[in-house]
Chain A
C-alpha cells in the first residue's frame, strides 16, 4: 500500500510540474496579447487557467499522498512552513515554499474580481520565483531527481519556460509593440 502511495506521490509531483510548465508558457503567450493558430486569445487565457487548476490538483494529490505515506515523514505543518522537515529538510522546504506561493497565486486568481487587478497582478509575478524553486525541489528531493529520464524531462520544461521568458522581456513581445513604440505608458 505505502509503495503505491510513494509511487503516486512521485508521479503526481512530476505531473504537477509538467502542467505548471505548460500553464506558465500559456500565461506568457496570453500576456503578449497574441492568438495562436486556431486558438483565439480568450481560449489561450482559459486553457492557461484550466491547466493551472489541473496542475494545482496534482500538487494537492502530491502533498496529500506524501502526508499519508509513513515513509515520507511529512507532517501537515511541513506543507505550510518550510525547512522543518526531518527528511532532506532543505529540498523539502523548497517544495513547501513553492506550494505556499502557488496557494497565494491560486487564491488571488480565484478572487481577483474582489481583490482587484493590482493585487492579482502583483501576486501573479511570484510565478517567476515559484517555478524555478519547484524545479530545484523536484531534482533535489525526488527519488528519481537525478535520473536521466527525469533530467531530460526537466531540461525540456526548463527550455520552454526560459525561452518564453526571454521572449517576454524582448522588445517585440507585445502584439501591439510596433504600433505603440515611442509612447511610454
Chain B
C-alpha cells in the first residue's frame, strides 16, 4: 500500500507492521536510521495526493482537541486562496507539551525527530507555506537542533523554545510566543487558519500529528487505518504515570482498551482505583470501567476524550478528591490571569475542592462546586476554564460516594492508613 499522486512519490521501503510505527527506527534514531526504516520522503509541492490520503486516513490531532487534520489543512488552503492580497501560509509544529503528566511529545522528539520534520515539510508543501516553525520545550531543543543539522532540507525551519507553563502549548499562545515572545493565549474572532502568525494563514499541529502525516505521506491512508478503528484510526502515543509507576510512553492502536494499555505498561489494574484520561483537563474513569476503549467515541459517554493521550493512575490508597483538589489548585495557579472568570473562578473552584477533600463541609459545597464549574465554561480566551471545570465535574461524579463520605466527615481512603 503506497500513496500515489503528486503529493508524494511512491516509496520502496515496506511500511511498519503492527502498532509500533512512530518508534520503528529505534532509540535516538538519526537521519540514516530514519531513512533505512521508513525510506526517503520526496517532498512534492501542493497536489491532491497527500491531501486525499490524509482524508482517507481519518487522522485527528494528537495535541488534545482532536480536530480532523485534513479539515484543518483545508481551512488553511481555503484561506490562502480566498485572500485578496496573497500571503503564504505558516506551519508550526507544536511540541510545547505543557501537560505535566505527558512526556510523549518530548519522547517522540528525542527518538523520532525526523518523522516530525518530514511531516512538517510535507504539510508545508501541501499548503504552500514558506515558513515553518518547530516550537519545542527546552528539553527537546538539543535533539531537534542536531536533527535539523543532519539534513539539508530544513533551512526554512526555525526552532523556537517554548515556555514551560501549562498553557504555553495552546495554539494562539504558540503563535503569540513566536510572534511577540509572549506565551499567552490571545482573543480571537477568526481562526488561526484564517489569520494567525503575522496575519498569515497558520497551521499549528501537534508534533505527533505531524509524525503520523509523515507516515501517511509514505504509506497512505489505508495503511494508517490498518490499526485502530473508525474516527480513532491509526495509533496514538500515550503516557502512563501515577500510582508510583515510572512514567512510560507507549504507542497503542486507536481501538485499545485502557486496561490493555495498562497491562502493556506492566501495571496491574488491581492497584488502580481510577484513571485520569486525557490530562489535567481530562476525565476520571473509575476502575470498574477500565475496559473502555481509549477513543473519542467510547469516551464520549463519560464526557471525556483521549486528549493528549495521558493516563494518570490513582492508586487504591489515594484519595481521588484530594488529588483532584491539588490538580485544580495547580490549574488555578497556571491561569494566565488574563480573563476574569478564569482568574477568580478557578481559584474559587480550587478552594471549594480543597474544602470538599478536607472533609470539612456540607452538601451545599458539592452543589456550589457544580454550579461554579458550569458557570465558567466558555468564559475565557482559551479553554482553560472549560477544561478545569470538566475535571472537577468528572471528579464529583466518578468519586460521588467519596464525596458523600467526605461530606459526612471521613475520607474512605486516606483515613484507613
Please encode chain B, from 331 to 368, with 1 for each CB lying within 8 Å of some chain A CB and 0 for all others: 00000010010011001000000000000000000000
Interface size class of A (residues with CB under 8 A): under 10
Interface size class of B (residues with CB under 8 A): under 10
User: In the complex, which residues 304-344 of chain B have their Cβ closer than 8 Å to any Cβ of chain A?
Assistant: 337, 340, 343-344
Further contacts, 7 of them, CB under 8 A, given A180-B344, A183-B347, A185-B343: A179-B344, A182-B347, A183-B343, A183-B344, A184-B337, A185-B337, A185-B340
Q: Complex: how many Å from CA A172 to CA B1?
A: 71
Count of A-B contacts judged by CB separation below 8 Å: 10
A residues near B344, Cβ cutoff 8 Å: 179-180, 183
| A185 to B: closest C-beta gap in Å | 6
Interface residues of B (CB under 8 A from A): 337, 340, 343-344, 347
Please encode chain A, from 166 to 185, with 1 for each CB lying within 8 Å of some chain B CB and 0 for all others: 00000000000001101111
Interface residues of A (CB under 8 A from B): 179-180, 182-185
B residues near A184, Cβ cutoff 8 Å: 337
Closest 4 CB pairs of A and B: A183-B347, A183-B344, A183-B343, A180-B344
| A166 to B: closest C-beta gap in Å | 26
Q: List 10 A-B contacts (CB under 8 A).
A: A179-B344, A180-B344, A182-B347, A183-B343, A183-B344, A183-B347, A184-B337, A185-B337, A185-B340, A185-B343
Q: Complex: how many Å from CA A182 to CA B351?
A: 12
Q: Complex: how many Å from CA A180 to CA B340?
A: 9
A residues near B340, Cβ cutoff 8 Å: 185
| A1 to B: closest C-beta gap in Å | 58
Q: Complex: how many Å from CA A164 to CA B344?
A: 28
Which residue of chain A has its CB nearest to the CB of B335? A183
| B337 to A: closest C-beta gap in Å | 6
Q: Complex: how many Å from CA A185 to CA B343?
A: 8
| B39 to A: closest C-beta gap in Å | 53
Which residue of chain B has its CB nearest to the CB of A182? B347
